[in-house]
Amino acid sequence: MLLIFIYYFLSIATLCACYYFRRSRFTEKDYKYNKPLRWKRRILIIWIYFFGGIQGSICAKKNYFRDVDNDFIIGSALFFLFAYIVAVCWVEDIIHPFNNKKK
């Protein structure tokens, strides 16, 4: 039961961190000159890929979560898998709006 609670907590916390990075008003200068901010973003992207792999393994393989007679885990893994795909596109696209400035 504790493992399932930790699974849901980390899955939701990852999505909240992505939302924070997207909604924060960081400028191009912040990403260019602030190394800790760049590393936080890189670590978040790696973390999302890691958790996306975990969600994919829950959906595809027979493991501890699939042995539980609860289909909500598999459904939530599918939901989080699609949410992580959107979140990765969100976080990786943060810097690109600065390239489309009008001259």
Which domain range does residue 49 map to?
A: 45-95
Q: How many Å apart are CA 34 and CA 94, to the nearest integer?
A: 15
* Any domain includes 52: yes
Question: Mean pLDDT in the chain?
Answer: 78
pLDDT at 99: 55
* Any domain includes 86: yes
Query: Which band of pLDDT confidence, cut at 50, 70 and 90, is reported for residue 90?
Result: confident
* Any domain includes 103: no
Residue by residue, DSSP assigns 40-93 as HHHHHHHHHHHHHHHHHHHHHS-SHHHHSS-HHHHHHHHHHHHHHHHHHHHHHT
* Any domain includes 30: no
Q: Hunting for tokens 């979140």 — which residue is that?
A: 87
* Any domain includes 39: no
Residues 34-80 have pLDDT tens digits of 888 878 888 888 888 898 888 888 888 766 666 666 677 888 888 88
pLDDT at 100: 58
* Any domain includes 76: yes
| Percentage of the residues of the chain whose pLDDT score is greater than 90 | 1
CA separation, residue 68 to residues 4, 59, 78 (Å): 10, 13, 16
pLDDT at 71: 72
Q: 58 with 74: CB under 8 angstroms? A: yes
Total number of domains in the chain: 1
CA separation, residue 10 to residues 15, 22, 87, 90, 100 (Å): 9, 18, 14, 18, 34
* Any domain includes 80: yes
